[in-house]
Structures are given as C-alpha cells and as structure tokens.
C-alpha cells in the first residue's frame, strides 16, 4: 500500500508559509496545511487518519521551534510517523548535534532556492536525512547527553532558564526577576557550565529535553525583548 503524507507548515510568517504551501501543492501534489502554531491534536496523539506527517517549522519562530522539540520528545515512544524539518535556518549555524539528537531530519537554509527545498521535501518522504554532512561533526566536542540533573540547578537558575526559552534578553529577564542584567549574565554562565552547553539555544533545548518542562506560556514572553544571541 502506498504511503500517504500530510505536510504541515508551521510559523508566524503567514505570507512566507502561504507561498511555500502553494509551491508544495503545485509541485509535489501533496496535502499541505499552514498553521501559526503546531496543532494541539498532535500532542494529544492524533493518528492523522493513518497519514505520515511531515512538519516544516520556521526556525526563526522561537515558540514554534521549541514546540517542535517538545513534540518530538513526547512522540519518541511511538505513534504515527512524524518527520520534522526546520526551514529559514540561519546560514551561519555551525553545530547541529543538538538538533540531530532532538530528531530533526532536515535543515533548509534562508539561502536555499524553493526548488532545492521542494527536492529536499521529496527526499524526506523517501526516508532520507538532509542534515548537511559537513555540519554533522562540526562544532566543539560535546557530551551526547548532559550529566546534569535538575537538582544541580538552583531554583533561581531554573527560573532564568525557563525565561531563556522565551528568547528574552538579559535586561528583560533581570526586569522580570528584579535583578541586574549582570547578575543574569553570571547565572547564565553558571547554568551553561553545569549542563554542558555554550549558547542560549542549547540551554533552552536542554531544558525541554532533560527536565521535561514545557516552555513558558507564550503570553508571558510576548512583552519581553528577544535576545539576538548569547
């Protein structure tokens, strides 16, 4: 029996998503739907009427990205096949080890042509992984999994780490918690050292993967300035 697919495009840039949807429908003749956020029924274990699911998530949408990581973590135990890919990825990325451990099967960069992306989507539906070979071993050597346990982080560090997943700047976190940006920076240095990561992205992903705590409610982060980097 031929495998049937449903492609879901997720992210806050509706114009970009609609254009991608039209290209997928026209060139691949596959069912394709656009969402601002990952549908809640996927977290509930919906079988999508027996279809295999390909999720294309906009990497520039922080909440959509972390919702994807949470979904992949929760669905590892079984259920219908889910293939996940990030698009609109920054071309400056140098280390994809954490993405690969999360279950992401492909990266489509901002510089990729639509034709390249469509070709890659077709390859994903054939079971191929599209993490560029040169990125699979790039970046500093890291432990496959952090040995840090929840108890090694203080309550304040956990609170700061949760706010990091919203993309908040050090200034915004400090204002939220009543501490100085310098103190936030010091806490982040200690957090990174304890859990074995070297970036805000890595810390937020570690939180979702290891502590089984979902990201803070999106409404909390709506009014907090986003951090551009570490």
122 & 158 share domain? no
Domain, as residue range, for 156: 150-221
Taking the complete model, does pTM exceed 0.85, yes or no? no
123 & 201 share domain? no
pLDDT of residue 42: 79
Name the nearest CA neighbour of 60 among 32, 86, 33: 86
In a domain, 145, yes or no: no
Q: CATH number of the domain that 112 lies in?
A: 3.40.50.2300
In a domain, 143, yes or no: no
pLDDT of residue 210: 66
CA separation for the pair 163, 169 (Å, rounded)? 9
DSSP letter (8 states) at residue 211: S
Q: CATH number of the domain that 155 lies in?
A: 1.10.10.10
How many Å is the Cα radius of gyration of the chain? 18
Q: Which residues of the chain have pLDDT under 70?
A: 1-3, 44-50, 75-81, 93-98, 100, 131-151, 208-230
Where helices occur in the chain by DSSP H, the ranges are 14-28, 40-43, 62-74, 97-102, 114-124, 133-136, 155-164, 170-177, 181-195, 200-210, 218-221
167 & 131 share domain? no
Structure tokens at 112: 């990729």
In a domain, 56, yes or no: yes
pLDDT of residue 25: 92
Q: What is the number of structural domains in the chain?
A: 2
106 & 177 share domain? no
CA separation for the pair 215, 164 (Å, rounded)? 9
Q: What is the per-residue burial (b if ≥16 Cβ within 10 Å, else e) of 132-148?
A: eeebeeeeeeeeeebeb
In a domain, 165, yes or no: yes
């Amino acid at each position: 029996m031929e495998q049937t697919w449903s492609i879901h495009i997720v992210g806050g840039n509706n114009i970009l998503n609609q254009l991608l949807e039209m290209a997928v429908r026209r060139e691949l003749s596959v069912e394709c739907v656009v969402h601002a956020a990952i549908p809640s029924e996927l977290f509930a274990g919906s079988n999508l009427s027996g279809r295999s699911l390909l999720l294309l998530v906009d990497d520039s949408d922080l909440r959509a990205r972390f919702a994807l990581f949470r979904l992949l973590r929760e669905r590892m135990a079984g259920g219908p096949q889910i293939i996940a890919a990030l698009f609109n990825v920054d071309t400056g990325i140098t280390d994809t080890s954490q993405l690969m451990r999360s279950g992401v099967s492909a990266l489509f960069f901002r510089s990729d042509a639509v034709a390249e992306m469509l070709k890659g989507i077709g390859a994903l539906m054939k079971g191929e992984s599209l993490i560029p070979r040169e990125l699979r071993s790039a970046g500093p050597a890291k432990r496959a999994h952090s040995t840090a346990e929840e108890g090694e982080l203080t309550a304040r560090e956990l609170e700061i780490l949760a706010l990091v997943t919203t993309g908040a700047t050090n200034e915004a976190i400090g204002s939220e918690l009543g501490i100085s940006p310098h103190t936030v920076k010091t806490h982040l240095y200690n957090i990174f050292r304890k859990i074995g990561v070297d970036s805000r992205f890595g810390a937020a992903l570690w939180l979702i993967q290891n502590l089984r705590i979902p990201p803070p409610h999106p409404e909390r982060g709506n009014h907090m300035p986003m951090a551009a980097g570490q």
